[in-house]
């Protein structure tokens, strides 16, 4: 792949990204519902008719249909083509930054996983283990192996991943755990933590260690995964960028809706922060 014209590779990544975005639409919809992500093929959520192959072409299919189901006329959300377009642009940005290499393909998969985690967290306030824990395992094994393949010392690459995962997961776990204990001591109640008449979890129960109000354990696992890929410096960059993105969104939301009750969890901010850490030119991953 070394002799690929860089501009042609960016264009190829854009096309592949749009196709992956189309797949991510399926993942985002079905994974949190426990449905298969391969069967059946795309269907109209209203009438159940299979979507014709030429209407399944990313972005263009939606435009051809003018945003309506061909069979029942129900509106198809503009979110579907927007997810496809956003994934295409992210893949093109990764291709531009990392080039046609095994690591370039790995970062595209990483970006796709982050995007799916953010969208599912936005919809359901959960981050599926298939993405966070699966990504953590990949970040501790595949990522250092590919870095070693490209000439990095294998031991250093692996240590980088382990330290990043430990720092990412550890930092958020400490914040969540300390916050949970403070809330318990202060008698503060949250909608789901614990519910009316429920006892606070005791130290011998797993919930005591992993069940936090406000910030879910899913965020801990997500930042551990991000840390495995980006390393310890990347974790710090991700947290700084996530806080900045969260602050901007929070201010924008407060102005637009005159409410300080944010509709977001922390997951989408962490994913956005990791994208900034990966793609901004002053990051620690500059090739």
CB of 65 or CB of 163, closer to Zn ion: 65
Minimum distance between the CB of residue 49 and Zn ion, rounded to whole angstroms? 5
Residue 270 DSSP SS3: helix
203-to-38, 82, 157, 181, 218 alpha-carbon distances in Å: 41, 45, 36, 11, 20
String of DSSP letters for 103-145: HHHHHHHHHHHHHHHHHHHHHHS---HHHHHHHHHHHHHHHHH
Looking at beta carbons only, is 70 or 125 nearer to Zn ion?
A: 70
Of 69, 165, 220, 271, the one binding Zn ion by CB under 5 A: 69
Nearest to 221 by CA among 285, 154, 140: 140
Of the candidate residues 1, 11, 37, 46, the single one contacting Zn ion (CB under 5 A): 46
Beta carbon nearer to Zn ion, 69 or 100: 69
- Cβ proximity to Zn ion: between 46 and 247 the closer is 46
- The residue range among 17-25, 45-53, 60-68, 252-260 that interacts with Zn ion, by the rule CB under 5 A, is 45-53
Instruction: Of 94, 124, 105, give the one whose Cα is nearest residue 28.
Output: 124
Q: Is residue 242 part of the contact set for Zn ion (CB under 5 A)?
A: no
From the CB of 111, what's the least distance to Zn ion, in Å?
31
Closest C-alpha among 14, 7, 10 to residue 87: 14
Decide: is 47 part of the binding site for Zn ion (CB under 5 A).
yes
Nearer to Zn ion, 51 or 175 (CB): 51
Q: Which residues bind Zn ion (CB under 5 A)?
A: 44, 46-47, 69, 71-72
């Amino acid at each position: 792949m070394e002799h690929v014209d860089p501009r042609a590779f960016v264009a190829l990544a854009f096309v592949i990204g749009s196709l992956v975005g189309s797949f991510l639409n399926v993942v985002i919809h079905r994974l949190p519902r426990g449905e298969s992500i391969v069967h059946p093929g795309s269907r109209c959520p209203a009438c159940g008719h299979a979507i014709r192959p030429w209407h399944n072409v990313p972005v263009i299919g939606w435009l051809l249909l003018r945003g309506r189901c061909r069979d029942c006329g129900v509106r198809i959300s503009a979110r579907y083509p927007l997810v496809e377009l956003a994934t295409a642009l992210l893949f093109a940005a990764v291709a531009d930054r990392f080039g046609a290499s095994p690591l370039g393909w790995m970062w595209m998969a990483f970006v796709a996983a982050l995007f799916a985690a953010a969208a599912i967290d936005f919809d359901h306030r959960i981050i599926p283990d298939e993405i966070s824990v699966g990504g953590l395992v990949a970040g501790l094994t595949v990522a250092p192996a590919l870095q070693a393949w490209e000439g990095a010392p294998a031991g250093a690459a692996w240590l980088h991943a382990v330290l990043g995962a430990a720092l990412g997961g550890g930092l958020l776990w400490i914040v969540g755990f300390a916050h949970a204990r403070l809330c318990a001591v202060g008698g503060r109640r949250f909608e789901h933590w614990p519910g009316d008449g429920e006892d606070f979890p005791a130290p011998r129960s797993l919930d005591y260690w992993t069940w936090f109000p406000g910030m879910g354990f899913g965020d801990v696992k997500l930042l551990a995964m991000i840390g495995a890929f980006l390393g310890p410096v990347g974790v710090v960059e991700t947290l700084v960028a996530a806080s900045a993105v969260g602050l901007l969104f929070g201010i924008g939301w407060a102005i637009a809706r005159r409410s300080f009750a944010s509709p977001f969890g922390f997951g989408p901010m962490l994913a956005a922060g990791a994208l900034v850490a990966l793609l901004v030119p002053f990051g620690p991953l500059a090739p």
